[in-house]
Amino acid sequence: MLGHLTSALDDASPHQGRKIAAIYVLLFAFNAVVWFWAFVTLSAHPTLLGTALLAYVLGLRHAVDADHIAAIDNVVRKLMQEGKRPISAGLFFSLGHSLVVAIAVAVIVGTAFALQGRLHQQRQRSHPVWLCELAFFEQAQRAQQYEHDAQHCHRGDRWSRSRLRQGCYSQDCRGS
């Protein structure tokens, strides 16, 4: 058993085609098992099943982010310069990244459960603070948009200035 695992992880093994096929079979089998488990477990909760599908699709999108591609590319180039054939570099990158994400989620969930009963009173007291922060940022954004429109859409006529005073920003002041 250990010999098969070692040869599967060894980039110098002569059976590179089999190794690539084994990686694909492993990935497809793992995905099939996880989705079978999700359908069985979440069949009574279609919203959760939809959320799981959304998370999966967003994870696939996240996998092709430029920073991930660059990291894998750097490792592959380095290993190629050393004379190795880094067939499984992307697989191990994704496994390591998934492990970090799973640990982070576990910490967040554990912290939320641990603090769940203690935060009720704090939440009641903090609502006014959140509302004030929201109002402040909304006003700051409006002021910034007003300044932008006043600088870039200023035609010097009375109509334009009155529209800006009324709060008709962006598209309204760009018209004829």
Which amino acid is it at 150? A
End residue of a domain, out of 24, 48, 63: 63
Range of the domain at 144: 121-167
pLDDT in tens, 112-167: 888 877 777 677 777 788 888 888 888 888 888 777 666 665 555 555 555 555 55
Name the residue among 96, 57, 26 with its Cα closest to residue 18: 26
End residue of a domain, out of 63, 79, 113: 63
End residue of a domain, out of 63, 88, 110: 63
Name the residue among 9, 10, 72, 152 with its Cα closest to residue 160: 152
Total domains in the chain come to 2
Model confidence, pTM:
0.53
Question: How is residue 53 written in tokens?
Answer: 């599908």
Q: Quick check: is 99 in a domain?
A: no
